[in-house]
Amino acid sequence: MEIIVAKNAGFCFGVKRAIEKTQDILCEKKGKVFSIGSLIHNELVTDDLKKKGLIEIDDISTISDIKNETVIIRTHGVEKEIYDILKKNNNEIIDLTCPFVKKIHDIVDEYSTKNYKIIVIGDKRHPEVRGIVSHGHEVSVVSSEDDIKKLTFDRKDKVLVVSQTTESVDKVEKLVDILKVFYYNIEVVNTICSTTIERQEEVGTLAKVLDVVIIIGSENSSNTMKLYNIASKHCNKTYIVSNRACVKSIDLDDNMKVGICAGASTPQYLIEEIIEDVRNEL
């Protein structure tokens, strides 16, 4: 069996920075530290941080109860109004929003002051997208051609199009082409992060020549699911593996070429353990 490991696998810059900073803060404070939602979308990592004292706040309605505490803003970012509540209650805010996401906030802020209507290509339920939407005045989220047809902007409106940082390149290009049919005055800013683009291109290329593709990561991770969707178009035996136990359910034999890829929130130790488990399954 030949095992091919993707060059671009594991923590991206934004995730690595957030985890290291959070670990430092937990050591420094020696007490409770809050985060708004999960710092990243990987249960193994976030469970470990919780054991070290990190308290996740998933219920937005309880944020106003946090006062005079240290609060971490997750990598996906949060809604603009959450900052206001945290500041009002004299909390120390540690903003670990991914720089690529922060850039979109700035772009949406700028174009909104110029009376642009904003269209975000992405999943409206995702925390990153909710944060982006909060920075504009008239913002719509689309993820399909049907969503575009439901838009109520005037054809002559000035329109800015951005996307979730982890969106599929092919999907964004397809929807932008459709949007250009509907709107005359449209400006598009490519906001898919460079790491996402590199990983998607690599997994698409590898999947075409592999018998099995294993994507390591969590199913609630947007970038991991995009890798899975791309790989599964080219390789019927594509699997998402969130932990070592999942490897046992994959049928492997000596004659296979097996590719191993990983989402941007997947720790290196898990990648190495699963590579070893794949070898031992034979």
Secondary structure E strands in 102-193? 117-121, 139-142, 158-163, 185-188
235, 9, 271, 58: CA torsion to nearest 10: -100
Among 92, 110, 128, 281, the one annotated catalytic: 128
- Alpha carbon 234 to its chain centroid, in Å, reads 23
Whether residue 81 lies in the annotated active site: no
CA distance 253 to 281: 9
How many helices (H) and strands (E) the chain has is answered by: 10, 12
C-alpha closest to that of 250 among 209, 207, 213, 208? 213
Residue 62: partners with Cβ closer than 8 Å, 6 or more residues away: none
Per DSSP, the three-state class of 109 is helix
Secondary structure E strands in the chain? 2-5, 33-36, 54-57, 70-73, 92-95, 117-121, 139-142, 158-163, 185-188, 212-216, 238-241, 257-262
Catalytic residue positions?
Answer: 128
